[in-house]
């Protein structure tokens, strides 16, 4: 084994092998993979090898498409067969809701260039004769589904990497990792040490243990997973290979394996494996079978596919593999550790391994993953993902792998975990809560405790009239919203203004003022949007998306000067309340001595104030787009602040409102939000944020690329639509049609109660952004006429928020 390497990849499963290959492909040759035993010795060797392109996150779906297309390339380079069988696949619906879900998945696939088709039960039964069609209502057909040989794929990556210059060392375990002051690593193994510039944790089942070597607790947990293989079936003799099928009602996937069928389940009563530590002596072992646990699923499966039930079980496989709480991979650099990268929690290595390797290698070599991988970024998790939280969420995710997640469905595991001081007050007011980063926040308020729950639906649900009443209160009198679920940063120091000016695209505000600003990467793409508030010459309060706190911090720390600026995340030290609506000023004025008139405290002002007995920061700004104020206080004061606002609000028609109403109102104002309208695939001019880019500054990150975008206009444009919807509104990820062709995608949608219109925000090609007619938006399989609005649906001139 060599003593120095540019990169050490820990783990020779399908993911580590893919990372290694992609690093060599990107031009890094001095790369070394260290494997504890033989390649595939973790979860890879006993995988069923199934692969498919469909994923809830369109950006992850794209990487899955890439992975499947890659197999030809690595077969060609390595001469190693990947055992690819592209059979095509069926997703079988047993209920109307599932068929709706499939229609939505098909629609989303359309703008990703996927060739999905909704077919009748009869058609499905013709394609897949093993099914008993009486149990189903329809199906979706995907021509690009199939399976591979896990051994073949891993070795094809590994050999291709070796041909590209990589070295692979087997039977060698990394036992420790020690950072050196120069940012390099000592990789300690049981067979000598290696000094590496970069380390990649691709240790799969042992990713937690490797994480602990550097002091981090990665939110991954292995679950036991079982599949069975039947004996040879006469029904398959002489037939062409059967399709893959997913039967959602039985939580079952099924495909042909030689002369029989392979059937696996994601059963409700899933069981975690090695909840705290993974034994190092676990080799190419299987776990004891537990058919009783999956019996309810098998019963459904055998009823739905009777010939499979009759065939008899030849073999059962029970093996562990890892999941993150949301089931998506954990990829990227770890904040606070120099040159330490992860590629783990990959639960679908044969659909995702290639995309993970590509994204990570680009990130390491070019400093940027080259694609929008927010859904896989390890930075999407924070301190709340404790071992027990991860355990609860992974179990839930596993048991729901084939369940429908409705757009208004909040999942119950690991709740309530984090609450603010007014949680009980809001409960008493019949709040229906959502979970955001483990934090309970109010979504809407019901008239009674009995009604305080969501009836899950793809269509307008039971919350609709109550959200309408909340929006109308904001429009006509005043609304009170909890806004604690934002990320906040306290930024100080003599160089703070200069640093912010470089990191943010907009002008740094004057003392007492607020500026909205995009944050851009060097490619001029959006990697954040912030409310920048200036308290003093050398003191700022920055508000952004809480889920992205670590993502932002990783970026901030990369660009911090050695001295002169301190950045402190303070998300839960400051919690907040917002009052909005025409009466909000008069209401708040009863509690503060400062003059809140527009002359004295104009729109976008920010100041320390005392609100009754409570000290806090008050900003004259509201995401509702109406006159409004955001008040930030330290957590200990929030209850008192709430009580005084509620008390004062009695004379001003104050009504509580929640996140659903806020979402509807910000869409009425065409205000975008992180991870929906603002993502690293869009530039600020495409996203309609051009006015927040200050080209008078000679330097800020992304300036050159953004100047080019400004000159060219960019390829895309964010547009607001009024939709002729009936009982279901767009929610995001629906295709936008123009003149009979899919041209774009919706990023957010809702019913705008203040304007009494169904609305959607979405991206279309810039060349089409001026088209007045011909747009349609597909909602649950039906195309609805959509009218492009030239400005925001509500108060397009912005007079109300400035009044
Ligand atoms: C029963 C079953 C069925 C499955 N079916 C499918 C399927 O149909 N389709 C699909 O896409 N996925 C399937 N999977 C999941 C798939 O197996 C995983 O997504 C994939 O194996 C993850 O690969 P990995 O490289 O991340 O991890 P692993 O395969 O666990 O690889 C990690 C490697 O790192 C090595 N290692 C760990 N620590 C160290 C150390 N300190 N030093 C040196 N080496 C170390 C290990 O020995 C191991 O070889 C299935 C899994 C199971 C269990």
* pLDDT score of 772 more than 90: no
Cβ(443)–Cβ(549) below 8 Å: no
Q: Is the CB of 44 under 6 A from ligand 1?
A: yes
Q: pTM surpassing 0.85? A: yes
Ligand 1 atom 33: residue of nearest CA: 11
Distance 733 CA to ligand 1 centre (A): 31
Distance 9 CA to ligand 1 centre (A): 14
* φ, ψ at 761 (rounded to 5°): -110, 140
DSSP 113-180: T---EEE-HHHHHHH-TTS-GGG-SEEEEESS-EE--HHHHHHHHHHHHHHTT-EEE-S--EEEEEE-
DSSP 395-460: HHHHHTTTS---TT----TT-S-B--TTHHHHHHTTEEEEEETTEEEEEEE-SSGGG-S----SS-
Among residues 259, 239, 67, the alpha carbon closest in space to that of 147 is found at 67
Distance 260 CA to ligand 1 centre (A): 25
Q: Pairing relation of β-strands 539-545 and 486-492? A: antiparallel
Distance 124 CA to ligand 1 centre (A): 33
* pLDDT score of 32 more than 90: yes
Among residues 210, 203, 262, the alpha carbon closest in space to that of 232 is found at 262
Q: Pairing relation of β-strands 192-201 and 89-93? A: unpaired
Among residues 160, 164, 28, the alpha carbon closest in space to that of 81 is found at 160
Q: Is the CB of 16 under 6 A from ligand 1?
A: yes
Residue with structure tokens 């696996």? 264
Confidence of residue 261 (pLDDT cuts 50, 70, 90): very high
Q: What is the mean pLDDT of residues 361-367?
A: 97
Q: Is the CB of 32 under 6 A from ligand 1?
A: no
**Residue 11 alpha carbon, nearest atom of ligand 1:** 34
* pLDDT score of 649 more than 90: yes
Instruction: Specify whether the backbone of 595 is left (phi greater than 0), alpha (psi in -120 to 50) or beta.
Output: beta
Average model confidence (pLDDT) for the chain?
96
What sign does the dihedral 453-456-462-466 (CA atoms) show? positive
The predicted pLDDT at position 481 comes to: 98
Instruction: Specify whether the backbone of 524 is left (phi greater than 0), alpha (psi in -120 to 50) or beta.
Output: left
Confidence of residue 503 (pLDDT cuts 50, 70, 90): very high
Which of 229, 348, 349 best tests ligand 1's pocket when mutated (most atoms within 8 Å of CB)?
Answer: 349
pLDDT digits (tens, 9 = 90+) for 677-736: 999 999 999 999 999 999 999 999 999 999 999 999 999 999 999 999 999 999 999 999
pLDDT digits (tens, 9 = 90+) for 160-177: 999 999 999 999 999 999
Between 70-74, 108-112, 262-266, the lowest mean confidence (pLDDT) is in: 108-112
Distance 122 CA to ligand 1 centre (A): 38
Among residues 570, 548, 563, the alpha carbon closest in space to that of 498 is found at 563
Q: Is the CB of 680 under 6 A from ligand 1?
A: no
Give the helix/strand (H/E) hosting 473: helix 464-476
pLDDT digits (tens, 9 = 90+) for 421-449: 999 999 999 999 999 999 999 999 999 99
Looking at the chain, the whole-number percentage of residues with pLDDT higher than 90 is 95
* pLDDT score of 110 more than 90: no
Q: Is the CB of 153 under 6 A from ligand 1?
A: no
Which of 19, 48, 202, 342 best tests ligand 1's pocket when mutated (most atoms within 8 Å of CB)?
Answer: 48
Q: What is the mean pLDDT of residues 375-392?
A: 97
Copy the structure tokens of residue 725.
């919807």
**How many helical (H) and strand (E) elements, i.e. helices and strands, does the chain have?**
19, 39
The predicted pLDDT at position 774 comes to: 96
Residue 86: HSE in the Cβ half-sphere, 13 Å Cα cutoff: 11
Residue with structure tokens 């069981």? 271
What is the C-alpha to C-alpha distance for residues 669 and 800, in angstroms, rounded to an integer? 11
* pLDDT score of 381 more than 90: yes
Distance 767 CA to ligand 1 centre (A): 45
**Residue 321 alpha carbon, nearest atom of ligand 1:** 53
* φ, ψ at 636 (rounded to 5°): -65, -20
Distance 45 CA to ligand 1 centre (A): 7
Q: What is the mean pLDDT of residues 13-31?
A: 98
What is the C-alpha to C-alpha distance for residues 688 and 710, in angstroms, rounded to an integer? 11
Which of 202, 227, 254, 321 best tests ligand 1's pocket when mutated (most atoms within 8 Å of CB)?
Answer: 321
Copy the structure tokens of residue 666.
């910000």
Cβ(605)–Cβ(627) below 8 Å: no
Which of 13, 70, 170, 229 best tests ligand 1's pocket when mutated (most atoms within 8 Å of CB)?
Answer: 13
Q: Is the CB of 759 under 6 A from ligand 1?
A: no
Q: Is the CB of 12 under 6 A from ligand 1?
A: yes
Ligand 1 atom 21: residue of nearest CA: 44
DSSP 656-696: E--HHHHHHHHHHTT---BTTTB-TTS-TTTTT-GGG--TT
Burial readout 481-500 (b: 16 or more C-beta within 10 A, e: otherwise): bbbbbbbbbbbbbebbbebb
What is the C-alpha to C-alpha distance for residues 777 and 723, in angstroms, rounded to an integer? 7
pLDDT digits (tens, 9 = 90+) for 651-676: 999 999 999 999 999 999 999 999 99
Measure CA of the first residue to CA of the last residue in the chain; give whole Å: 71
Give the helix/strand (H/E) hosting 106: helix 96-111
Distance 272 CA to ligand 1 centre (A): 15
Q: What is the mean pLDDT of residues 80-108?
A: 94
Residue with structure tokens 């907040």? 576
Q: Is the CB of 68 under 6 A from ligand 1?
A: no
Distance 667 CA to ligand 1 centre (A): 42
Peptide bond preceding 693: is omega within 30 degrees of 0, i.e. cis?
no
Helix (H, G, I), strand (E, B) or coil at 58: helix
Ligand 1 atom 25: residue of nearest CA: 13
Confidence of residue 371 (pLDDT cuts 50, 70, 90): confident
Calculate ∠ Cα 165-168-172, nearest 5°.
155
* pLDDT score of 114 more than 90: no
The predicted pLDDT at position 285 comes to: 82
Please enumerate in sequence order all residues whose Cβ is within 8 A of that of 139, keeping only pairs 6 or more positions apart, or say none.
Answer: 90, 91, 92, 93, 102, 118, 119, 120, 121, 123, 124
Q: Is the CB of 554 under 6 A from ligand 1?
A: no
pLDDT digits (tens, 9 = 90+) for 728-756: 999 999 999 999 999 999 999 999 999 99
DSSP 545-599: EGGGHHHHHHHHHHH--SSS-EEEE-TTTEEEEEEESTTHHHHHHTT-SS--STT
The predicted pLDDT at position 7 comes to: 98
The predicted pLDDT at position 590 comes to: 98
Distance 13 CA to ligand 1 centre (A): 5
The predicted pLDDT at position 521 comes to: 96
What is the C-alpha to C-alpha distance for residues 571 and 420, in angstroms, rounded to an integer? 12
Cβ(640)–Cβ(727) below 8 Å: no
Q: Pairing relation of β-strands 192-201 and 4-10? A: parallel
* pLDDT score of 47 more than 90: yes
pLDDT digits (tens, 9 = 90+) for 513-532: 999 999 999 999 999 999 99
The predicted pLDDT at position 200 comes to: 99
Please enumerate in sequence order all residues whose Cβ is within 8 A of that of 83, keeping only pairs 6 or more positions apart, or say none.
Answer: 49, 147, 148, 149, 152, 153
* pLDDT score of 108 more than 90: no
Cβ(732)–Cβ(748) below 8 Å: yes
Copy the structure tokens of residue 66.
């890439």
Cβ(546)–Cβ(600) below 8 Å: no
Class of residue 1 by CB neighbours under 10 A (exposed 0-12, middle 13-18, buried 19+): middle
Distance 202 CA to ligand 1 centre (A): 9
Q: What is the mean pLDDT of residues 468-490?
A: 98
* pLDDT score of 56 more than 90: no
Which of 83, 158, 206 best tests ligand 1's pocket when mutated (most atoms within 8 Å of CB)?
Answer: 206
Which of 43, 255, 320, 351 best tests ligand 1's pocket when mutated (most atoms within 8 Å of CB)?
Answer: 43
Confidence of residue 484 (pLDDT cuts 50, 70, 90): very high
Distance 80 CA to ligand 1 centre (A): 19
């Amino acid at each position: 084994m060599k003593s120095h390497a540019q990169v050490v990849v820990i783990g020779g499963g399908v993911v580590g092998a893919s990372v290694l290959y992609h690093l060599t492909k990107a031009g890094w040759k001095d790369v070394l993979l260290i494997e504890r035993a033989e390649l595939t010795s973790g979860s890879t060797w006993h995988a069923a090898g199934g692969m498919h392109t469909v994923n809830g996150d369109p950006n992850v779906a794209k990487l899955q498409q890439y992975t499947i297309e890659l197999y030809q390339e690595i077969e060609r380079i390595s001469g190693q067969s990947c055992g690819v069988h592209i059979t095509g696949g069926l997703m079988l619906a047993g209920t109307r809701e599932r068929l709706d879900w499939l229609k939505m998945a098909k629609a989303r696939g359309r703008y990703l260039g996927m060739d999905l088709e909704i077919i009748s039960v009869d058609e499905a039964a013709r394609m897949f004769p093993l099914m008993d069609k009486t149990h189903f209502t329809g199906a979706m057909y995907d021509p690009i589904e199939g399976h591979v040989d896990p051994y073949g794929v891993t070795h094809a990556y590994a050999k291709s990497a070796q041909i590209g210059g990589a070295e692979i060392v087997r039977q060698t375990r990394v036992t420790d990792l020690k950072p050196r002051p120069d940012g390099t690593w000592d990789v300690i193994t049981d067979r000598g040490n290696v000094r590496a510039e970069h380390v990649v944790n691709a240790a799969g089942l042992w990713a937690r243990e490797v994480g602990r070597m550097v002091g981090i607790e990665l939110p991954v947990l292995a679950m036991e997973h079982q599949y069975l293989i039947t004996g040879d079936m006469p029904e398959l003799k002489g037939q062409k290979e059967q399709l893959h099928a997913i039967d959602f009602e039985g939580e079952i996937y099924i495909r042909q394996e030689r002369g029989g069928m392979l059937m696996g389940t994601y059963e409700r009563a899933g069981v975690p494996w090695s909840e705290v530590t993974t034994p190092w002596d676990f080799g190419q072992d299987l776990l004891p079978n537990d058919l009783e646990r999956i019996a309810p699923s098998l019963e459904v499966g055998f009823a739905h596919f009777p010939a499979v039930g009759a065939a008899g079980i030849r073999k059962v496989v029970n093996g562990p593999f890892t999941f993150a709480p949301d089931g998506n991979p954990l990829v990227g650099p770890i904040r606070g550790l120099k040159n330490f990268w992860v590629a783990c929690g990959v639960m679908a290595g044969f659909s995702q391994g290639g995309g993970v390797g590509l994204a990570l290698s680009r990130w390491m070599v070019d400093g940027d993953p080259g694609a929008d991988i927010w859904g896989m970024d390890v930075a999407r998790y924070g301190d709340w993902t404790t071992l027990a939280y991860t355990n609860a969420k992974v179990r839930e995710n596993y048991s729901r792998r084939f369940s429908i997640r409705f757009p208004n469905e909040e999942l119950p595991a690991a709740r309530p975990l984090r609450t603010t001081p007014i949680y009980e007050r809001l409960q008493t007011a019949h709040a229906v809560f959502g979970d955001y980063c483990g934090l309970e926040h109010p979504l809407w308020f019901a008239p009674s405790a009995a009604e305080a729950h969501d009836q899950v639906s793809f269509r307008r649900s039971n919350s609709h009239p109550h959200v309408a009443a909340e929006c109308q209160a904001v429009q006509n009198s005043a609304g009170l919203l909890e806004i604690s679920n934002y990320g906040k940063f306290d930024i100080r120091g003599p160089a703070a203004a200069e640093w912010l000016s470089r990191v943010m695209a907009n002008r740094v505000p004057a003392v007492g003022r607020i500026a909205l600003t995009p944050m851009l990467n060097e490619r001029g793409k959006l990697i954040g949007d912030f409310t920048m508030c200036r308290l003093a010459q050398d003191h700022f309060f920055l508000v952004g998306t809480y889920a992205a706190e670590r993502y932002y911090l990783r970026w901030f720390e990369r660009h911090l000067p050695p001295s002169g600026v301190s950045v402190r995340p303070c998300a839960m030290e400051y919690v907040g309340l917002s009052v909005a609506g025409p009466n909000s000023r008069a209401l708040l004025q009863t509690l503060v001595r400062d003059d809140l008139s527009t002359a004295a405290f104009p729109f976008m002002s920010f100041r320390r104030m005392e609100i009754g007995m409570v000290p806090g920061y008050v900003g004259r700004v509201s995401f509702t787009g109406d006159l409004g104020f955001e008040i930030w206080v330290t957590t200990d004061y929030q209850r008192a602040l709430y009580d005084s606002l509620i008390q004062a609000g009695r004379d001003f028609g104050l009504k509580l409102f929640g996140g659903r109403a806020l979402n509807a109102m910000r869409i009425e104002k065409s205000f975008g939000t992180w991870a929906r309208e603002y993502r690293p695939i869009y530039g600020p001019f495409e996203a309609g944020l051009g006015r927040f880019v200050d080209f008078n500054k000679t330097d800020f990150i992304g300036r050159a690329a953004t100047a080019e975008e400004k000159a060219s206009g960019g390829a895309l444009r964010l547009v607001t639509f009024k939709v002729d919807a009936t009982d279901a509104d767009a929610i995001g990820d629906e295709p936008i049609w123009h003149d009979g062709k899919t041209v774009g995608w919706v990023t957010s949608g809702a019913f705008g109660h203040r304007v009494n219109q169904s609305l959607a925000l979405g991206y279309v090609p810039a060349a089409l952004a001026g088209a007045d007619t011909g747009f349609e938006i597909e909602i649950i399989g039906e195309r609805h006429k959509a009218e492009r609005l030239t400005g925001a649906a509500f108060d397009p001139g912005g007079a109300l928020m400035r009044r």
